[in-house]
Chains A and B, each alone.
Chain A
């Protein structure tokens, strides 16, 4: 043994002496890690807390309960419960009469203001009720109506009765009316049946996310149906079939770069090609899905390629050795084994696509759509765009509904990711 080599006993001593310093370093690192995690957790909790507290009230709104006389001749003059008949009917007058009988407005100005108390959706509500249950005709029944958004804001405390009347959105008269209604316990604060069942509306109290929700589902379905098969097939082709030469290298570089392109560029491309050149209609989920598919393809291709590469070569060897052809190896062995990774990548891409706003704005899915889209060719909008539009409006109630819609969007995302994890676990266990 040369002199430079430390003998075991000396080495033991040296190591023993250095232990203290090493332990201290370890502990410091551990502490840093804990602090970082603690800070991140705090931020996360703060974020969720603020979203939740802001959005929770958006699920509720104020209602007024009125006794409605269901007079058939006045509500349904033609007597056939058709939409035209109900449109010609005087449902709103009946409601106002019931209201006036309680608050007793005096003078034209007061009556005008009083007519604005109940939300303008009252006709529709009556119409829906009688269509569902014609036996209501001839009865006097209590019906809940949503209150106008200004009154709702007042009741929540955003409009202060102490501010001078000229600076307020509601007059003293209206405040008195509301007080009267409150005395009779006709005002209630309840879970909004508009937020989920209602569609886009200029009136914040009637606005809901139903249309945008289905629009999102349709758009994402189109996106998935285009992007998943194309993405998987591309990945399979590039990994298994194409020869490794300059061309495939260039393709790989381009795909990787496309994953980093800002999504609004895809929107511009959709506008230029699908809408201008192909002449497809704007604002439909089909075109929206196509644009999102283009955007999601690089993500799917990259993660699918990684999943395919992760399939151990021993499985391929075994399959080739038994006399399987190239396609049989790919479809019987490689794709099933790579599927968990491919699906994970796809769902990550889908979750990204769900939250995309800019490209869809470019192709015009920002229209004010009242009806729920029934097919991919009907004009529609998506959740993030709906949120974006609501965020523009001034009314206070829209702010709350926007936060509520954000909560719904987050819930949608979490569900999708949970589904991804479940699916992946299920597929992994089989092997």
Chain B
């Protein structure tokens, strides 16, 4: 840890290894306000390259809010104000000359409730590449759609009905379609906001296995209210409480010998 990094005030509160060697996303002293209410308090953390990291913590601790800062989805909320610095590959994403549209193609998002567009399966996956002009011709687009659906583990189930509406799939399939849609624009980071909370255990397990595979290609940040899911799926885990980042560390360490007693209490089910 360099001296410059030691200066960051959040180290007084956050326990564990906040920094990563090959960090893609870096958050430094980030505060987020909803009007006058402070939702995120002085958080510093690195998101490593091609790692799966999960944010856990009780309801209302700010983990979803913090996640949405990474792809500037909080811009759509008028009363939300952000202080501090967030960089993607050392470029500040809140800089005034950064266009939020290409940023969101580099940092994709999957939401809690599966929300495929009310279009065909093909058009759902093709929408991103189309609007960003990623494909030169139809064959290229077809192959991008096929590859995305394959990587999302959905190709075998839908390749014979690509033109049927996306909303006609089951919940688990819809979520995988949303993941395929996010992958189709070749992002570098994928943010997932409680991706399995609306799904049954088998569909959840399939998505977790998918996340495990995707972790070899993309950096993935998952917000989850299920500690067991964080334990199963992520390599690193960050524990948030009332807007503060309490502890970050290897998932194995957090769940076998957490350093902070608040983390221990949350994981053992001793606080809400």
Contacts and interface: CB of A to CB of B under 8 A. Distances in A.
Contacts of A318: 111, 115-117, 178, 181
B153 interface: no
Interface string B125-143: 0011001100000000000
Nearest to A336: B118
Interface in B101-120: 101-105, 108-109, 111, 113, 115-118
A253 interface: no
A325 interface: yes
A332 B126 CA distance: 13
B71 interface: yes
Interface in A255-289: none
A341 to B, nearest CB: 14
Contacts of B116: 318
B104 A320 contact: yes
Interface string B42-69: 0000000000000000000000000000
B98 interface: no
Given A317-B111, A323-B101, A328 B131 contact: yes
Contact of B104 (A244, A321, A332): A321
Contact of A317 (B73, B103, B181): B73
A225 interface: no
Contact of B117 (A243, A244, A319): A319
Contact of A322 (B113, B167, B185): B185
B156 interface: no
B165 interface: yes
A397 interface: no
Nearest to A318: B115
B164 to A, nearest CB: 12
Contacts of A337: 118
A326 to B, nearest CB: 9
A321 B101 CA distance: 9
B182 interface: yes
A112 interface: no
Decide if the interface of chain B is mainly helix, strand, loop or mixed.
Answer: helix
A318 B117 CA distance: 8
A323 B118 contact: no
Interface residues of A, number: 19
Nearest to B71: A321
A117 to B, nearest CB: 68
A323 B102 contact: yes
A321 B181 CA distance: 10
Contacts of A333: 117
B115 A314 contact: yes
Contacts of B132: 323
B7 interface: no
Interface in A301-324: 314-324
Contacts of B76: 316, 320
B68 to A, nearest CB: 10
Most buried by A among B113, B117, B128: B117
Given A320-B104, A323-B132, A333-B117, A314 B127 contact: no
A166 B83 CA distance: 99
A316 B73 CA distance: 11
B200 interface: no
A431 interface: yes
Given A318-B178, A431-B165, A325 B115 contact: no
A310 to B, nearest CB: 13
A244 B76 CA distance: 13
A192 B113 CA distance: 64
Contact of B167 (A321, A324, A431): A431
Nearest to B182: A322
Contacts of B109: 321
Contact of B115 (A317, A324, A431): A317
A324 B131 contact: yes
A68 to B, nearest CB: 66
Given A317-B73, A318-B178, A431-B167, A323 B115 contact: no
Nearest to B191: A321
B3 interface: no
Contacts of B131: 322-324, 328, 332
25 contacts: A243-B78, A315-B115, A315-B118, A316-B76, A317-B111, A317-B115, A318-B111, A318-B115, A318-B117, A321-B73, A321-B108, A321-B111, A322-B108, A322-B181, A322-B182, A323-B104, A323-B105, A323-B131, A323-B185, A324-B101, A324-B127, A324-B131, A328-B131, A332-B131, A337-B118
In order of increasing CB-CB distance, the 3 nearest A-B pairs are A323-B104, A321-B109, A314-B115
Given A243-B78, A317-B111, A324-B127, 16 more contacts: A314-B113, A316-B76, A317-B73, A318-B111, A318-B115, A320-B73, A321-B71, A321-B104, A322-B108, A322-B128, A322-B185, A323-B128, A323-B131, A323-B185, A332-B127, A431-B118
